[in-house]
Amino acid sequence: MGDHCPRLPGENKERKEMLPKGRLIAGGGTALALTLALSAPTAAAPENRAGVYDRIVLMGDSFISGEGGAWEGNAKNLGALKQYVPDPQDVEKTARNQLETYGRSLYTTDKKDPGCHRSDASGGFGLYDEDVENFACSGAESKDILTDSWKGEQPQIEQLKAFLDKDVNYKVTTLVISIGGNDLKLGDVVKDCVSDFVLRSFPCSISHTSDIDTRMEALPTSIGNVVDEVGKVFTEKGKAIPQIVLRSYPNPFSGSKERREGDSFDSGMREGIPFYNMDLDWLRDVNDDLNAVIKSVATTKKVGFLGLTDLFDGHEVGSNQAEQVSGGKKPAEKDAEWARSINAVRGAYADKFGRLSDRNAVQEYAHPNYYGQLAMNACLFSYMRFVKAGTGTPNARMNCEAAAGQSPENGPVTVPAS
């Protein structure tokens, strides 16, 4: 079942102080109106009419469930003689408590496999005036929203129906969906890319381009069906259809030109970015194509769109504008990497021995970490305030961007999508 995102310790006042702000950019006189609307205080209580409270619902895959949220930046892997594993003291500076981060979603209910990894920082963290219900699950495809059970849980749409039947005192105002990456089997593709790099084989882009193109052609229909069926649930339950927002994906890894070091075996393993330059650039192109499909579906279905393609710019794993923990020195979040790096050695152990701790760690690779999730939350907050302030249409299409040296809470800028 989905998880209700836990509140931070303390009352709403304390949550306000930690609120991810985000920023909006608009032209002409609208900018002043936006500034005033966004700086106006929000009521501490989420009640909007007698006994009814607002809720945000999250559905989809690992990029919205909160996968990777147990890490604050990355520790640099030590060199070949140290077998490319990080210094434990450096790891300690980046690690959050996994159980506290993911709660009961750390494992499947039978405790045999990694779970949905719903992070305490995912999706709507910091939206103190609205509670968040998280049905998203790491590894989920479109079919796992609509028809298939996944990781021992019912299809997400069935969880949504049960929630709407049970929690009659809540009104869902916004429903955010992140889906598509697993329909393309990108997790398997990334794994093959790493394997090809480690084994010094041919770049993975050579063998996977055709498969990706074929799956991409089917994606608009799959995502469109998700939007349609989720909307029908509210109609069938006699409830107003909420603001549905399709969210795209940030790039977790730098491009070849922005890479801190080259794509030699040693540098790739130490930096936690074990890819050929050719594959890095190809994966970013695939992400661009995927995000374009998501935006196209949002336009066709007349729902909202929140584009995150450029959100991690200057904060990707391996970026020459970001830093890793090394020698006991932890960079500030504004200078850190915002996605989880890959330790190919531990990945190999997970494949060979199948230990649950290793498989849990591998499932987190190549996902937004705690900082990245704070940045994505700032984008969602900014988007929602934009719509609520009456300055944008309910189905606004926006992009959210950031740059090197900016903090995840205050750096992201939301601009209209072209």
pTM attached to this predicted model: 0.88
Q: What pLDDT score was predicted for residue 180?
A: 98
What's the structural domain count of the chain? 1
Q: What pLDDT score was predicted for residue 394?
A: 76
Q: What pLDDT score was predicted for residue 349?
A: 79
pLDDT digits 0-9 by tens, 3-24: 654 333 232 333 333 334 444 4
Low-confidence ranges of the chain (pLDDT < 70): 1-52, 81, 123-130, 167, 389-392
pLDDT digits 0-9 by tens, 361-395: 999 999 999 999 999 999 998 998 888 766 667 78
Q: What pLDDT score was predicted for residue 81?
A: 65
In DSSP terms, 319 is beta-bridged to 259
Q: What is the CA radius of gyration of the chain?
A: 20
Supply the CATH number for residue 157's domain. Answer: 3.40.50.1110
- CA nearest to 285, candidates 186, 374, 400: 186
Question: Whole domain around residue 275: which residue ranges?
Answer: 3-416
